[in-house]
Structure 1
Amino acid sequence: MMAPNGETLVTSYARTSSDKPEKPRRISTEGLQRAMSDLSFELSKEGMDTKLPPISEVEDAKCECCGMSEECTPGYIHRVREKFSGKWICGLCSEAVKEEVEKNGGKQDEALNSHMSMCVRFNRIGRTHPVLIQAEAMREILRKSRLEGRGARAKSTTPREGESVKRGGITRSSSCIPAITKEINERALVN
């Protein structure tokens, strides 16, 4: 095999009469440099287009729901605004709005307004008082369970006469207090 500079390259070991492989010849650094310049000359002759297409300018876009900023192209910003009634919202908020649209039956404006009001409330209260948001979420869970017919208190699993047990409610089979007091009494006797 011939290198671009005319030197011969050894690609496999040649066997001698004593069956010992010969070492391949080394190419000089000068030969490698010459080969590289020959390759670069050949590539430039082919007229390869090394120019990249222009990159459109990037702008900071701030989500009108949560306030998060992202770097986006003007075209992307325009498409998002067309999709969400002229408002730019981030990817996370757009997914939340899609979920809300599925829940309310396809009313996108209503879902967007609902999500935006929830984000405003969270930014105003939730960031400074996270415990209040957690307590409010628990209150909402209890409220929803009452609306669905489940009581907030534990009910006995044994049905009374004429009543049937409601499925899905929080139930308790027995109290753990006797077991705890028994264990405490046993410990007191040992000590």
Structure 2
Amino acid sequence: MDIESVRCACCGLKEDCTQEYIDNVKGSFGGKWLCGLCSEAVRDGLSKDRSSQDGIEEAIKAHMEFCRIPLSSPAVRVADGMKEMLRRRSGDKMRPATPSEAHPV
């Protein structure tokens, strides 16, 4: 069982995974490898917008744009991603704070 390093196409997080797992994730996301947090965010976005013909590609594109928003550190980016995912899952319809409002540089 060989372990390989792979980098998330969205947030850039690097993980060590088996080739079988990497292939499975890439198969689910149009050939792109996404870390666990980003894959959950994409699935969450996909479950909200079922009307889109391009579904998975649009959800990945939207999440990649979110990940490009500059924050003070990768840890803050992960924390903001978790917060946003929890907010969505809780059904909170309030306007989410933009990362620049939440964490002024």
Q: Give ranges in structure 2 of 5+ residues lacking alignment.
A: 77-97
- AA matched with 1:113: K
- Please name the residue that 1:81 is paired with: 26
CA distance in 2, matches of 1:103, 1:90: 20
Deviation at 1:135, TM superposition (A): 1.8
Structure (1 or 2) with the larger CA radius of gyration: 1
1:111 lines up with 2:59 in the alignment: yes
Within 5 Å, give how 1:146-185 maps onto structure 2: none
Structure 1 residue ranges (4+ consecutive) displaced by more than 3 angstroms after TM superposition: none
Size of the aligned set, in residue pairs, is: 77
Pick 1 or 2: higher relative contact order, CA cutoff 8 A, min separation 6: 2
Q: Which residue of 1 aligns with 2:81?
A: none
Query: Which residue number corresponds to residue 68 of structure 2?
Result: 120
Deviation digits for residues 119-138 of structure 1 (CA, Å, limit 9, x no counterpart): 012xxx2226x8x72427xx
* Aligned CA-pair RMSD: 2.2
1:102-148 Cα deviation digits (max 9, x unpaired): 11116111111100111012xxx2226x8x72427xxxxxxxxxxxx
Higher helix share: 2
Work out whether 1:135 is the aligned partner of 2:78: no
**Does the residue aligned with 1:126 lie in a helix, a strand or coil?**
coil
Cα distance between partner residues in 1 of 2:72 and 2:61: 20
Q: CA deviation at 1:91?
A: 0.7
| TM-score using structure 2 length | 0.65
Q: Structure 1 stretches of 5 or more lacking a match?
A: 1-55, 137-191
Identity %: 38
> Which one-letter code corresponds to 2:58 in the other structure?
E
Structure 1-normalised TM-score? 0.37
SS at match of 1:59: strand
